[in-house]
A = this chain, B = another copy of it.
Amino acid sequence: MIMSGQDETLRHRVAGSGGFIRNLWYVAAWSHELADTPIGRVLLEEPVVFYRRADGAPVAMEDRCPHRFAPLSMGRVEGDDLRCMYHGLRFGCDGVCREMPAREPAPPVRVRIYPTVERWGWLWVWMGDPAQADPEKIPDAFGLQGAYDMRTDVMDIDACWELLNDNLCDLSHLDFSHATTLGASSAVRWSERKPHIEELPDGLRITRWFEDARMAPGHPLPVDTLSSYRYLLPGLFLMSMAWYPAGTAARCGYAEPVEPPLSSRADQQAVTPVTSRRSRYFFATGVARPQANQRLLDGIVAVVTAAFAEDKAILEAQQKIVDITPPERQRFATPHDAALLAFRRLVRARLAAEAETDAAR
């Protein structure tokens, strides 16, 4: 027998456990994923349904009818409301029950509403205390309509979100995992030297200059390349790659040049925990609009898609090794782990702070 049954036997850890940071904006979907029909997602082991009101504004609601725990994501949008299509209870976008069959007026039962915001092409949801849900806490990103012509995609990965964070905090793996894809196409060595790491309040800025190297294999002229990204809580990867005439890096003292680059690219990604062992990975990649054209974008997307399939393979294999590894077993840190260890410390600090707040209640 595998699981459980009726309520009390379901003793595995669920919503409200200490395993996730709650007071954060999480990416739930690309905005364009949400159209006329509701979509149900599990984030942080909690079921959430998203739908659009008549005016198009998104609503994030607990995906569990308080009546018999049917998923509201199998329900029907009616104006601003969402009706459970199991037994017909209808909830307003404030979570309050508006209609209950055979009971008039409806009693004051309600479902939880999560703060939700659309920004930068993403649908964000706040999984913690609503009073702290300030949209200003959403960091600046590139968006899909800005300076870059971006293509988007989504991937589910059967691995813990922290393994994905590790992966993205250390791009030295491009030379190995992606030796024939991203590594080859960038024509530089990511693992040779440690990048510059700057700690930010909610994450890290990681910067590398590659001097006097070709932009890509076969390109005629060597350039100086500035790769700079922020890796921010809960798991946002916001990177630009900019190419300058060779010599620029040294001339600027390895700071960011004031003049515009010859060309640039951007990547906007987010890691969202589904459970402690499954993650959803949102990614967009694009080219600065002056240089963007469909053929160039097609080529980049092909490389990125191949590379992220490589990431999925290694992450899922790594998770399986972790599964059969005694928990006390220590990992050995390399110089390239500086960023991921800093980010893991940040995660631990936030989890501890939230646990303390919960305990103080």
A residues in contact (CB < 8 Å) with B:
1-16, 19, 42, 45-47, 63-64, 66-71, 74, 83-89, 100-103, 107, 109, 160, 162, 166, 170, 172-173, 175-177, 179, 191-194, 275-277, 313-314, 317-318, 320-327, 329, 331-337
Contacts and interface: CB of A to CB of B under 8 A. Distances in A.
A15 B326 contact: yes
A331 B175 CA distance: 53
A325 B64 CA distance: 9
B69 A6 contact: yes
B14 A325 contact: yes
In the A-B complex, the 7 residue pairs with the closest CB atoms: A5-B276, A101-B191, A1-B13, A1-B14, A102-B335, A9-B12, A66-B332
A163 to B, nearest CB: 8
B87 A15 contact: no
B192 A10 contact: no
Contacts of A83: 176
A323 B193 contact: no
B11 A71 contact: no
A14 B19 contact: no
Contacts of A327: 5, 7-8, 10-11
5 contacts: A4-B14, A9-B11, A14-B324, A83-B176, A85-B176
A320 B318 CA distance: 27
Number of copies of this protein chain within its complex: 3
A325 B70 contact: no
Contact of A334 (B14, B19, B102): B102
Given A322-B7, A327-B5, A192 B66 contact: no
B177 A86 contact: yes
A334 B9 contact: no
A13 B328 CA distance: 13
Contacts of A8: 327
Given A6-B162, A334-B103, A74 B324 contact: no
A314 B74 contact: yes
Contacts of A317: 70-71, 74
**Central interface residue in A10, A46, A177, A317, by most chain B CB within 10 Å:** A10
A8 to B, nearest CB: 5
A321 B15 CA distance: 10
Given A160-B5, A172-B102, A176-B85, A68 B318 contact: yes
Given A47-B321, A102-B193, A327-B5, A176 B84 contact: yes
A333 B277 CA distance: 34
**Central interface residue in A7, A74, A83, A334, by most chain B CB within 10 Å:** A7
Nearest to A14: B1
Given A14-B326, A67-B334, A102-B194, A277 B5 contact: yes
Contacts of A13: 1, 4, 7, 9
A86 to B, nearest CB: 6
Nearest to A2: B2
Nearest to A107: B332
A60 to B, nearest CB: 16
Given A5-B160, A6-B19, A86-B173, 10 more contacts: A5-B162, A5-B277, A6-B277, A9-B276, A67-B337, A71-B320, A85-B179, A88-B172, A102-B172, A102-B191
Contact of A10 (B89, B176, B325, B331): B325
A3 to B, nearest CB: 5
Contacts of A160: 4-6
